[in-house]
Chains A and B, each alone.
Chain A
C-alpha cells in the first residue's frame, strides 16, 4: 500500500511538467484579498492575467492571518503576499499541517524595523543612528511612559521582539504594542497634525512611504544567529541586540491541489515575481491616484506588458 502511494507520487511528480499542457479546470480560481493596497492590486493583476489565459477568477476578502487555514482547505487557491515578518510564523505552521505549498519568492526584499517620519529628524538631528535616538528618548515620552520614550511596536502576533531589543541594548524606551496596522497609521496621522516626533514599527514596501516620507532607524546590523546566540551582536549576554534583517522574503503560496487542477495557471504563478518598485507603483495607483483596485490593475498591466507577457510563455 505504502509502496503504491510512493509510486503514485513519483508518477505524478514525473508527469508534472507535462501536466502544464493539460487544460485548466473551469472552476474559478479563488484569490484572497486583504486590507492593504499593494496586496489588493497585486491580486487583481494576477487575477486579470489568469483571466487573459481563459481561467475563471473570483476574489474573496479575508483576514490576513485566518487565510492560511482556507488555503489549506482549498477554499482559497493562492496567496500573493506572504511577508516573512508578519505572516512567516502562520505560513510555517500551515506548511507543517499540510495542504499549502511554497511557490517561490518575489524578487523583492521586505524590511521591517523601527521607523520615523521625516519631521522627527528636526527634533532629533542625530537620526537615523540608534544611539542618537536613545539620546533624545525623552522627546518621544507620553503621559503614560513618564520620562521614557515610547516606541510603538506592531501587533504582538507579528512577533517583532521590540521589548527584548530595548532591554538588550539598554535603551531608555518603553514598548507599546499597537493592535493593527490601522492603529499605527492613526498614530502617525495624529502626530502629523502638530509634527510631534514619533518612532513606530513600519515596513517596506507599503503605502506609508508615499504618504509620509521617513527613514528606518539604523540598529547594529543583523548578523545570523542574533536571535539564537547571545554571543552574536554588540551585547554578549542578550538575544535580539541587532536590527531586523534588511532583506526579508516576500513569498507566494498556493493550495497543494492547484497544480493539478489549474496546471497552466500554476506554471505562470511559479514565474510571477514582482520587484519593490513594481509593488510600490501598484500601491501608489490606489493610495495616491485613488483608482479602484481593478482599474489600477488594468492600468498596471497596460503599462507593463513586457513584464507580464514574458511569464505567459
Chain B
C-alpha cells in the first residue's frame, strides 16, 4: 500500500502510510474488544447510551414534510404523474391489453406481436433469435399469461425509453460539465444502495399508487448504468474522430448528434441493455406499489401457496428478459447496412415490410379465428398443479430431507448463530475501528475517513444491533458465495462454450424473481438464518461468477502465450498470470456481490429476520416515515462504505497493471 506515498510526491518521510495507520487502528479495535470480553470496557464504548441518540427520525420527518408540502414538490410530481405520465401509460395499456382509454382500440392479437417479434429477431440475429423472440411470446400466450404479461409490458414500454432518454441526457451533461458529474455521482450511489422498502412510500405519496408509481420506481432504479455508460462512451471517443467533425464545420449540436453519440454507440447500447434488464428485475417488487401484471399475479399466487404457477410466471419474466437482452445485444453488434445507390425502397426495407405484413396478417386472422387473438383460461397449457406435485414429491424424499436437515443443523448451530453472536459481542467502538482499518488498508485515507463517518452515523442512529445483524447476513452470504462462485467462474472460464453456458445461467438467476427463491429456501431450511443466507447467496453469486469469467477471459492473449512459452503449468499460469490480471475486474464483481447482498437481505425480511429489514417492514404503513428513512439510510451507509473502499482499491490496481 505504499502507492499512496508515491502518488503524493510532497509527502514528508515521517508521515505514516495508510497501512501503518490501518494496523494501528486495528490494534486499538482489538484492545477494545479484548477489554470488553474481560469486562473492563466502559459501557458507553460498548453500546451508545439511549440518551446520546439524536432524534434523527423526527428531523427527517420534518425535512420530508417541508420538501413535500412547503416547497410544493408534491404538486409538481402529482401533476406529472396524473398528467403526461398517466396519459402515456393509458395509451400503451390500451394498445397492449385493451384498457378502455384513448385511442380506444381492441387488444392487439398475441399472434401478431409474436410474428412481428420473430421477424425482428430474424433481422437482428438470424433463425436462432427469431425462434427465441417468437417462442417467448408464443409461450406467454399458451401458458395463459398473455394479458398479465402485456400489463407489465405496457408500463415497461413507457419506463424503459424514459430511463434511456433521461439517462442519456444526464450522461451527456455529466460528460460536458464536471460539476454535474460530481453532483450526480453521490446521488446515484445513494439511490442504488437505498433499500427498496424506503423507496416505496415516497413513490406512493409523490406519484400515486398504481402504474405511475411503478413506472417511476422502475425508472429511478434503471437510470444509473445508463448515465455511467454514456459518460464512459463519450470520454472514449478518439480525438481523430472529433477532429474530423470539427474540420467539416459541425456546430456544437451537430458534433454531439453526428460525431460523439454515434462514436459512443457501443457503450450507449450496453447502457440500453442494462436499462432493459433492470426494468425486468423490478417487475415483482414494484407490484407492492401498484405495478400491474406478472408481478402482482406472482405475489397473489405465492400468497396462496401455488408454487407451480409462481414458477411459470418466473419463467415468463426470465424469457422476456433474455429475449430483450439478446435482441438489444444483437442490435449493438449489428453494423448499419449500406446499399448501392438505386436500390429500390422495398428492398432496402424488406424486413420492415415483412414485419408489418406478418403483423397485419395475424391481426386480421385474429378477427376471424378467436384462438389467434386470445387464448382463454380453459385452453391454456399451464402445468401449475403438476409442478406443485413434483416439488412436494421431491421434498418428501428421505435423502433430500436428511441432507437439508444436516446442512441446516451444521450451518445454523455451528456456524451462523455463533458468528452472529460473536459480531454482536464486539463493542460498537471496536467494530467501527475494525471497519475503518479495513477501509484504510483497501482504499486509503479517504475511504477510511468515510468509513468512520458512515459507521459512526449508523451507531448514532440507535439501530446498531440490527445493523450488525444485517451486516452479518451479508458477510456470511458473500463469503459462502465466494467459496462457491469463484471455483465455478474459474472452471467455466477455461472454455468459450462453458463460459457462455454459465453466463446464461447468471442471466437467468439475475432476472428470475427473487421472491420465488424464498419459498423453496423456507421449505428446505425452515425459517432460520440458513434460509436467509441461502436466498441471498443465490443472488450474490451471480456477479461474482460473471465478473470472474469475464475477468479471466479478458486476460490479453499475449500474456497467456508468454506464460505457455516459459513452460508454466496450468496451475502456475492461473495463479501467477491470469488471476493477478483478472483481480481488479473480479473485485468489481465482489463489490457487486456485496451490493446485491445488501439489496436481497432486506427482501429476506419476508422469510423472517431480526435485522433492519424487519424493522423496515414494520414502517410500511406509512405512519412512521422518519424511522423508515433512518433505517434505509443505515443500510445505504454500510453498503457505501464497502463500495467506496473496494472500488478505490480496484481502480488503483487497474491503473498499476495498465489495464
- A: residues with CB less than 8 A from B are 30, 32-37, 40, 60-63, 65-70, 73, 75-76, 89-90, 93-94, 97, 142-144, 152, 155-157, 176-183, 185-187, 189-190, 192-194, 207, 211, 286-287, 290-293, 295
Contact = CB atoms under 8 A, between A and B. Distances in A.
B135 interface: no
B605 A62 contact: no
B483 interface: no
B205 interface: yes
A143 B409 contact: yes
B296 A157 contact: no
24 contacts: A32-B209, A37-B303, A40-B300, A60-B210, A62-B209, A62-B288, A62-B289, A63-B288, A63-B620, A65-B620, A65-B621, A68-B621, A75-B210, A94-B621, A157-B617, A179-B614, A180-B606, A182-B302, A182-B305, A186-B519, A186-B522, A187-B522, A187-B523, A190-B395
B408 interface: yes
Contacts, number: 169
A251 B384 CA distance: 33
B304 A286 contact: yes
B291 to A, nearest CB: 7
A94 to B, nearest CB: 7
Given A69-B204, A75-B204, A155-B617, A61 B287 contact: yes
A286 B518 CA distance: 23
Contact of A295 (B208, B377, B412): B377
Contacts of A68: 621-622
A183 B289 CA distance: 21
Given A30-B210, A60-B290, A69-B621, A36 B303 contact: yes
Interface string B296-337: 100110111101000000000000000000000000000000
A57 to B, nearest CB: 11
B611 to A, nearest CB: 11
Contact of B527 (A66, A178, A287): A178
A33 B622 contact: no
Contact of A177 (B296, B303, B305, B608): B608
A50 B528 CA distance: 45
Given A61-B287, A190-B526, A179 B396 contact: no
B401 interface: yes
A73 B609 CA distance: 31
| Secondary structure call for the B interface | helix
Q: Interface centre among B524, B604, B614, by most A CB within 10 Å?
A: B614
Contacts of A293: 300
Closest 4 CB pairs of A and B: A69-B622, A90-B621, A35-B303, A61-B296
A97 B296 contact: no
A181 B405 CA distance: 23
A292 B617 CA distance: 29
B51 interface: no
A35 B200 CA distance: 17
B292 interface: yes
A273 B286 CA distance: 31
Contacts of A178: 527, 607-608
Interface string B197-212: 0001100110011100
A36 B305 CA distance: 10
Contacts of B446: none
A189 B527 CA distance: 13
Interface string B403-430: 0010011001100010000000000000
B258 interface: no
Nearest to B397: A193
Contacts of B305: 182, 185-186, 189, 211
In this complex, the member of B522, B607, B617 whose beta carbon has the largest number of chain A beta carbons within 10 angstroms is B522
Interface string B603-640: 01111110000100110111100000000000000000
Given A143-B413, A178-B607, 7 more contacts: A61-B299, A66-B289, A73-B208, A178-B608, A183-B606, A291-B377, A293-B300
Contacts of A192: 392
Contacts of B396: 193-194
A60 B293 CA distance: 10
A66 B622 contact: yes
Nearest to A181: B303
A35 B617 contact: no
Nearest to B610: A177
Contacts of B205: 69, 73
Interface in B353-402: 377, 384-385, 392, 395-396, 401
Nearest to A71: B209
B19 to A, nearest CB: 41
A193 B623 contact: no
A182 B401 CA distance: 21
Contacts of B208: 70, 73, 75
B513 to A, nearest CB: 13
Interface string B177-204: 0000000000000000000000011001
Contact of A183 (B200, B209, B522): B522
A240 to B, nearest CB: 19
A40 B622 CA distance: 22
Nearest to A143: B409
B527 A183 contact: yes
A97 to B, nearest CB: 7
A36 B208 CA distance: 23
Contacts of B605: 179
Contacts of B405: 143
Nearest to B309: A290
Nearest to A32: B209
Interface in B576-628: 604-609, 614, 617-618, 620-623
A25 to B, nearest CB: 15
Interface string B502-544: 0000000000000000110011101110000000000000000
B419 to A, nearest CB: 14
A33 B209 CA distance: 12
B606 A89 contact: no
Nearest to A283: B304
Max chain A Cβ within 10 angstroms of own Cβ: one of B201, B204, B524: B204
Nearest to A63: B288
Given A66-B204, A180-B606, A157 B618 contact: yes
Contacts of A30: 210
B195 to A, nearest CB: 14
Contacts of B204: 62, 66, 69-70, 75
A155 B608 contact: yes
Nearest to B412: A144
A219 B401 CA distance: 33
A65 B607 CA distance: 17
A176 B621 CA distance: 23
A70 B213 CA distance: 11
Interface string B540-551: 000000000000
B622 A156 contact: no
Contacts of B608: 155, 176-180, 183
B395 A176 contact: no
A156 B614 contact: yes
B291 A61 contact: yes
Name the residue in A60, A97, A142, A295 with the highest tally of chain B Cβ atoms < 10 Å from its Cβ. Answer: A60
Given A36-B303, A143-B413, A189-B305, A76 B618 contact: no
A153 B622 CA distance: 23
A90 B623 CA distance: 8
A75 B207 CA distance: 10
A183 B304 contact: no
B287 A187 contact: no
Given A37-B304, A63-B200, A144 B522 contact: no
A295 to B, nearest CB: 7
A69 B201 contact: yes
A269 B113 CA distance: 41
B303 A182 contact: yes
A248 B334 CA distance: 64
A179 B302 contact: no
A182 B531 CA distance: 14
